[in-house]
Amino acid sequence: MSAPGEKGGAVRYALLSDIHSNLEALEAVLEDIAGQAVDELLCLGDLVGYGADPNECVRRIRGLTSHVVIGNHDSAVVGLTDVSNFNAHARRAVAWTAEIIEPEQARYLSRRPFTDRIDDGLLVHATPSEPAAWHYLLSTQAARSEFPSFSESICFIGHSHQPVFFSSDGAPHSRKTDRLSCDPGLRYIVNVGSIGQPRDGDPRSCYAIYDADSRTVQLRRVAYDIKSAQRKILKAGLPPVLAARLSRGE
């Protein structure tokens, strides 16, 4: 990645979310990013949970960017979020991760903010209105109620593991659309999808590139070594369903 602004002031951001301790997926995405003329990397949280390489994933991300917000699994692993609303498999993964997370990585996760800002964009894991409540934003109607809670022209989120665009005019956006050209008269909420555990039926990792100059967002899908990630999950004694779902993208 080049230095921000190195190419005449235009900045291209790569936005990653929901890595979930999947090192194979993360490394494949970083390799793809290396060929996309990206200036800066941003992370929307949930570096850990579900997968078998939490320490490696945290170290990798913290070495690449200072723009990292906290996700609900990050928060749960360091004891800041109650896991009673997590399903049984997620609770087990949180407990396992909490046991093996290195103290240095745990401190790093515990100090991540709920929100961050770049140019005309807001970064948050779940919703801009209540970042610490971990609500899911899944519908146009729900998105409409979120726009008054932030002033930036675009808000990037993760959490649901499902890439989608929402606009302030309430128009529906197809989840199959992989490119957004921002209308200067509108504001947007963009879910950038998941690196480590996609849930939209496509098992490939998903991330977004935001060009702040042209105000375009592109979603990119990247294949990775799913079988290796699955073997690690099973070897760690984590729930087998967490391995199986990777092949199905759910």
- DSSP letter for each residue of 12-68: EEEEE---TT-HHHHHHHHHHHTTTT--EEEE-S--SSSSS-HHHHHHHHHTT-S-B
Question: Residue 13: pLDDT above 80?
Answer: yes
Whole-number Cα distances in Å, 182 to 86, 153, 234: 35, 9, 43
Question: Residue 3: pLDDT above 90?
Answer: no
Task: Map out the domains of the chain as residue ranges.
Answer: 12-248
* Residues 235-245: b if buried by 16+ CB within 10 A, e if exposed: ebebbeebbeb
**Which stretches does DSSP call E strand in 198-240?**
205-211, 216-222
**What average pLDDT does the segment 63-89 reach?**
97
Helix axes 240-248, 88-100, angle to 10 degrees: 110
Structure tokens at 230: 């699955």
Contacts of 18 (CB under 8 A, 6+ apart): 44, 45, 46, 71, 158, 159, 161, 193, 194, 195, 196, 197
Specify the pLDDT at position 171.
80
Separation of alpha carbons 194 and 191, rounded Å: 9
Percent of the chain with pLDDT over 90: 92
Question: Residue 18: pLDDT above 90?
Answer: yes
Question: Residue 4: pLDDT above 50?
Answer: no
**Helix, strand or coil for residue 210?**
strand
User: Closest Cα partner for 162 from 123, 113, 201?
Assistant: 201
Question: Residue 176: pLDDT above 80?
Answer: no
**Helix, strand or coil for residue 123?**
strand
Specify the pLDDT at position 174.
63
**What average pLDDT does the segment 113-127 reach?**
96
Handedness of CA 248, 159, 222, 26 (dihedral sign): negative
Separation of alpha carbons 226 and 233, rounded Å: 11
User: Closest Cα partner for 136 from 171, 164, 116?
Assistant: 164
Domain 12-248 sits in CATH at 3.60.21.10
Separation of alpha carbons 46 and 71, rounded Å: 4
- Please state, rounded to an integer, the average pLDDT across all residues of the chain: 94
Contact 181, 215 (CB under 8 A): yes
Report the predicted TM-score, pTM, of the whole model to 2 decimal places.
0.94
The per-residue pLDDT for range 223-245, each reduced to its tens digit, is 999 999 999 999 999 999 999 99
